[in-house]
Amino acid sequence: MSLSIRNQIPGTVTEIAAGPAMAAVKVSVDGGVLTAAITQDAVADLGLAVGSAVVALIKSTELSLATA
Amino acid sequence: MSLSIRNQIPGTVTEIAAGPAMAAVKVSVDGGVLTAAITQDAVADLGLAVGSAVVALIKSTELSLATA
Amino acid sequence: MSLSIRNQIPGTVTEIAAGPAMAAVKVSVDGGVLTAAITQDAVADLGLAVGSAVVALIKSTELSLATA
Amino acid sequence: MSLSIRNQIPGTVTEIAAGPAMAAVKVSVDGGVLTAAITQDAVADLGLAVGSAVVALIKSTELSLATA
Amino acid sequence: MSLSIRNQIPGTVTEIAAGPAMAAVKVSVDGGVLTAAITQDAVADLGLAVGSAVVALIKSTELSLATA
Amino acid sequence: MSLSIRNQIPGTVTEIAAGPAMAAVKVSVDGGVLTAAITQDAVADLGLAVGSAVVALIKSTELSLATA
């Protein structure tokens, strides 16, 4: 499968904080830790757990920039 | 300034493709290249050019995950 | 590849309006036509053209609801 | 009311998983089921329940594409 | 029509920068100016021009917070 | 820090509905009340409480428009 989603960052799940509807999933990647807010369904569907190998996907329109 | 935006990735602008309304800005970061689609106004306001030091900002709700 | 992205709708590209940075891609799906605003890079990378078979991907956090 | 939101898909609520802040709402539409992550306030405000007729709204910038 | 979109801010269009695919529309609102990046189709469909009365719509998941 | 995020609206936190993963934060601003759905981590990190002075940040691609 090829995705139009330009930003694809490989990493490993390090923490999952789950609620009834949403979950906050922490992923360690090159140079830091990312947080994804996804649905509980998605966590269950993908069988995500600490140690899962994942790829973080970010559409370019969702990426802002800051300068010092 | 502290941001609720969980994902903050430092990098350097490597390319800017500008249109009348929007611009696609490529940023080299640890482990790869990210693309941000931001407004032309923002590019001008921040004075972005190839070589600019930036931080990529991604709200956690905008980050999806994939497994192999 | 399994995606945390909950909404996946198959369709066919019917039109592409391309700019220097972004492109608006129309996709005919069951029951109507969707529009995706993606980067020009993505259009080229995926080799999208009228008639391309695609799947529209929408993160659940990006979907609002309306009632009459 | 006319919306700039290009993607408007009619459907019926089939399930609501509610948390203190957010809710995951499943909507059956032509050709499948969509999931919307909206606030609990919105669920209450719109009086959403299983069987509610809704329209799913998706801004074009939030729609990605995949090819096989 | 009732929307799950929590943030609805009335204003007036003050400027439109249009590209082939996208347009950046400036809207004066109580206390400042907002910018919306929407498709060219949407600008044409809604007949937007300088002086148009509009309501800016922002899903709660798209709103971040900063502290000084 | 300068942000590419075009929409920056100052306000004051008036309510926080917190879940295990996400929180819905209400902010009173000029002319109304906004709702932000952010992670619980962010609420804790920024030390948000009723009365906190904040700035609401909205990327232009996340802002839709409606006409009557």
Q: Per residue in B12-38, pLDDT tens?
A: 999 999 999 999 999 999 989 999 999
d(CA D38, CA D46): 11
Residues of E within an 8 Å Cβ radius of D: 1-6, 36-39, 41-43, 45-46, 57, 59-61
Q: Residue D29's pLDDT is what? A: 97
- Asked if C37 and D60 come within 8 Å (Cβ–Cβ), the reply is yes
Q: How many other C-beta atoms lie within 10 A of the C-beta of residue D45?
A: 15
Share of chain A above pLDDT 90, in %: 99
d(CA B11, CA B28): 5
Residue D1 in domain: no
Q: How many other C-beta atoms lie within 10 A of the C-beta of residue E16?
A: 18
Q: Which residues of E touch C23 (CB under 8 A)?
A: 21
- Rounded (5°) CA angle B31-F59-A24: 60
Q: Which two tokens stand for residue A13?
A: 């799940």
Q: Which two tokens stand for residue F38?
A: 């952010």
Any chains having at least 3 CB pairs less than 8 A from chain A are B, C, D, F
For residue D31, give the CATH number of its domain: 2.40.50.100
How many pairs of residues across C and E have Cβ atoms under 8 Å apart? 44
Q: Residue B15's pLDDT is what? A: 98
Q: Residue B56's pLDDT is what? A: 98
Task: Tell me which residue has tokens 């053209």.
Answer: C49
Residue B63 in domain: no
Nearest by CB to residue A35, choosing from F5, F19, F39, is F39
Q: Residue B33's pLDDT is what? A: 98
How confident is the prediction for chain A on average, in pLDDT?
97
- Asked if C66 and E1 come within 8 Å (Cβ–Cβ), the reply is yes
- Asked if D38 and C65 come within 8 Å (Cβ–Cβ), the reply is yes
What would you report as the CA-atom Rg of chain A, rounded to the nearest whole angstrom?
Answer: 13
- State the residue range of the domain holding D22: 7-59
**Residue ranges in chain F modelled with pLDDT below 70:** none
Instruction: Specify whether the CB–CB gap between C16 and C24 falls below 8 A.
Output: yes
| CA A42 from centre of chain | 11
Q: Which two tokens stand for residue C44?
A: 């080229």
Could you say which DSSP state residue B4 is in? S
Residue E31 in domain: yes
Q: Which residues of A touch C59 (CB under 8 A)?
A: 38
Residue A65 in domain: no
**Residue ranges in chain E modelled with pLDDT below 70:** none
Torsion of CA E44, E50, E53, E55, to 10 degrees: 70
Residue C41 in domain: yes
Instruction: Specify whether the CB–CB gap between B66 and A11 falls below 8 A.
Output: no
Task: Tell me which residue has tokens 């360690």.
Answer: A28
Q: DSSP H helical segments within chain A, as ranges?
A: 40-45
Q: Residue E30's pLDDT is what? A: 93
d(CA E34, CA E43): 16
Q: What pLDDT digit, counting tens, does each position of C20-61 carry?
A: 999 999 999 998 999 999 999 999 999 999 999 999 999 999
Q: Which two tokens stand for residue F52?
A: 């906190």
Nearest by CB to residue F6, choosing from B36, B42, B61, is B42
Q: Residue E46's pLDDT is what? A: 98
Residue B46 in domain: yes
Residue C67 in domain: no
Q: Residue D6's pLDDT is what? A: 98
Nearest by CB to residue B21, choosing from E22, E62, E66, is E22
Task: List all residues 6 or more positions away from D54 whose beta carbon is below 8 Å from its beta carbon.
Answer: C65, C66, C67, D10, D11, D12, D13, D27, D46, D48
Q: Which residues of D touch A20 (CB under 8 A)?
A: 17-19
Instruction: Specify whether the CB–CB gap between B39 and A11 falls below 8 A.
Output: no
φ, ψ for residue F37, nearest 5 deg: -105, 105
Q: Residue B17's pLDDT is what? A: 97
What total number of domains does chain E contain?
1
Q: Residue A5's pLDDT is what? A: 98
d(CA F24, CA F35): 6
Q: Which two tokens stand for residue D3?
A: 């919306």
d(CA D29, CA D26): 10
Q: Residue F24's pLDDT is what? A: 98
Residue F65 in domain: no
**How many angstroms away from the CA of B55 is the closest CA of chain A?**
5
Q: What pLDDT digit, counting tens, does each position of F44-57 carry?
A: 999 999 999 999 99
